[in-house]
Amino acid sequence: MWVTTQAFRMYPTHRQVFIEHLEHYVKESDYPGLDVFICTADPYKEPPMGVVNTALSVMAYDYPIEKLSVYVSDDGGSKLTLFAFMEAARFAAHWLPYCRKNKVVERCPKAHFGSSNPSRFPETDQIKTMYESMRVRVENVIKRGSISHDYITKQGESEALSRWTDGFTPQNHPSVVQVLLENGKDNDATGHGMPNLVYISREKSTDSPHHFKAGALNVLLRVSATMTNAPVILTLDSDMYSNDPQTPLRALCYLLDPSMDPKLGYVQFPQVFHGINKNDIYGGELRHVFEVHMPGMDWLAGPIHAGSGGFFRRRVFYGCPSETLEMNQGRQVSHSIKSREVLEMAHHVAGCKYENQTKWGRKMGFRYGSLVEDLYTSCLLQCEGWKSIYCNPKRPAFLGKSPINLHDFLNQTMRWSVGLLEVAFSRYSPITFGVQSISLLSGLCFAHYTFWPIWAIPVTIYAFLPQLALLNSASIFPKISDPWCWLYVVLFLGAYGQDYLEFVLSGRPTQRWWNHQRAWMMRVLSSFTFGLVEFLLKYVGISTFGFNVTSKVVEEEQRKRYQKGIFEFGVPSPVFLPLTTAAIINLVAFLSGFAQACRQRSIEDVFLQMCLAGFAVVNCCPVYEAMAWRRDQGKLPLKITVISVVLAWALYSASSMAF
């Protein structure tokens, strides 16, 4: 694992753009069209108001209105989400001119009005009242699960919502394509045009595969091609709102620069998370990925796509660079996106049978075969010859949410681990990638990601085997006097020392580093172990798995505990069992080893095993606290504690016979 990380550190690349120079290369009227894709899947796990805030933040970009379109994919097929965007379309008529007139920087309404030092303009109170009114209506609808007739103000809205009949379910329904705003026909409160806003819920059928997020993105690719067909595409997660209105211009500085490699396929911005507590107890900022790995890969073929914040040339999804040269500018669509023929074609390409006997998902669009469609697709794009660039401006381009409870954190990582294993054992494995791209370092970089879950095996062994040996008075490590003992020590301190030094030099406190390494061990011991088992079961045909959406809903008491740095357990989930079982065994083993050392007055035989157990015990302090002392709702459920004690006793009994 340590060796593969060195490929990222060979030649880190940091770039800077100068937006003021863009006008020397292209006029604003010649900017390429920009289609923004936003995906959501469950109105109860991903509250529609969060998705609405993301959409409004990009609709207010400093970009020619006539060239900007926002497409929202609702994979949950919920009329509640459609209603929320009907409300958003009305509010946008006031929000966009407000941002334009006052040169607002934070163009996400929630972030703008919730700022600790909000900007005050003459219209601020009025616009905030409109926003709060919209928020209350949307949240009331979500709470009730139905839409009051009093909220329907236009005939077209009633017709759109009437498609949700008794037989309409999230897993089985026809395609829905609703144009909420059309540039050239819908104007804001000041008479200026507005960007296109389109709601899409692709057709679902229980007898057709849907390929999770990759399938939803491919539907967006096809529907947008029938309507606007912009040459540049931005992909966003539902909670990843724009934090800088000039972000598209930063991307154009690369995409339109004549000195850049013509094979440049996409520009990737980092995911930056807001609301993370002071010491980041779950390691949610993903510092290694966005501050070490991405700059390191930029020097090679380019960074991976991180699932959000990627500006793509549309043509990258249709073949290798040499095959798509004629698509460089894109086919501009001039007809009304509300015309009958356009809507008929849009519904057709959103059908669940459309991809049958086509190259979609294999040679075209986002690729199928892995739950981490972002990494898998970017890997295959680089195999085809496309390059990418990492753009990390001082002001974060996008801000999103990171899980603030341990259960969501571990489940999210488990989903990633299954997807990574699917990539690792696909026909386009990292080894194949390294050969095809004629870059061993690129292969090592992808191997670092795709083989993450494999490390669950040695970490699990080290979390249990030496400690069980210690409980049985057995020594499996070298003695202190043995030179091999110091090899263990040097390797451990060297790897941890490098990691710690990087954290300190980046200005982060020691406590945050400690939490990060603990979160890494929790991921490996729990998420990666479960992910590895689930993948193997699926591989032999015993089990299948689906895409579980990470919940964005946060209770107030849970938020308060998180801000205090208190771990959130709360639910009796199996993902906690490896952590709690390891915590019990390591604590008992450390006390047993200490007792043995006191009786024998020698610690030489069990020094390394005691160090390992002691290191685990210190890391498990939040687990012990949740087991024994806490009384709040975030404590560890008694059921999990009891099962863990039984498992620990069973492992000890089995080890007694083995040793």
Q: State the binding site.
A: 45-46, 75, 213, 237
Contacts of 430 (CB under 8 A, 6+ apart): 379, 423, 424, 443, 444, 446, 447, 449, 450, 451
If DSSP codes are grouped into helix, strand and coil, which group holds residue 211?
coil
Measured CA to CA in angstroms, residue 646 lies from 394, 581, 585, 655 at distances of 51, 9, 11, 14
Binding residues for UDP-alpha-D-glucose: 45-46, 75
**Cα–Cα distance between 147 and 140 in angstroms, integer?**
9
Contacts of 408 (CB under 8 A, 6+ apart): 550, 551
How many residues are recorded in the chain?
A: 659
The answer to whether 186 is a known catalytic residue is: no
Closest CA to 265 of 329, 311, 330, 219: 311
- Cβ-based neighbour number of residue 512 at 10 Å: 20
What one-letter code names the amino acid at 43? P
Q: 578 with 526: CB under 8 angstroms?
A: yes
- Cβ-based neighbour number of residue 559 at 10 Å: 15
If DSSP codes are grouped into helix, strand and coil, which group holds residue 175?
coil
Among 239, 374, 408, 605, the one annotated catalytic:
374
Helix axes 529-539, 456-471, angle to 10 degrees: 120
Among 75, 188, 239, 408, the one annotated catalytic:
75
User: Going by DSSP bridges, is the β-strand pair 232-237/264-268 parallel, antiparallel, or unpaired?
Assistant: unpaired
Helix or strand run (H / E) with residue 318: none
Buried b (16+ CB within 10 A) or exposed e, 618-641: ebbebbbebbeebeeebbbbeebb
The answer to whether 75 is a known catalytic residue is: yes
- Cβ-based neighbour number of residue 150 at 10 Å: 7
Q: 574 with 647: CB under 8 angstroms?
A: no
SS3 content of the chain, % helix, strand, coil (to 5): 55, 10, 40
Q: 47 with 421: CB under 8 angstroms?
A: no
Contacts of 564 (CB under 8 A, 6+ apart): 277
Whose structure tokens read 């687990």?
623
Whose structure tokens read 């030094």?
501
Tokens of 402: 């990171």
| Cα torsion 425, 428, 431, 432: sign | positive
Q: 433 with 383: CB under 8 angstroms?
A: yes
Contacts of 322 (CB under 8 A, 6+ apart): 385
Closest CA to 140 of 241, 49, 238: 49
- C-alpha count within 13 angstroms, C-beta hemisphere, residue 17: 26
Tokens of 644: 């863990």
Helix or strand run (H / E) with residue 196: strand 196-201
Binding residues for Mn(2+): 213, 237
Task: Return the ∠ at Cα 498 (arms to 492 and 500), rounded to 5°.
Answer: 95
Task: Return the ∠ at Cα 588 (arms to 583 and 594), rounded to 5°.
Answer: 125
Task: Tell me the catalytic residues.
Answer: 75, 374
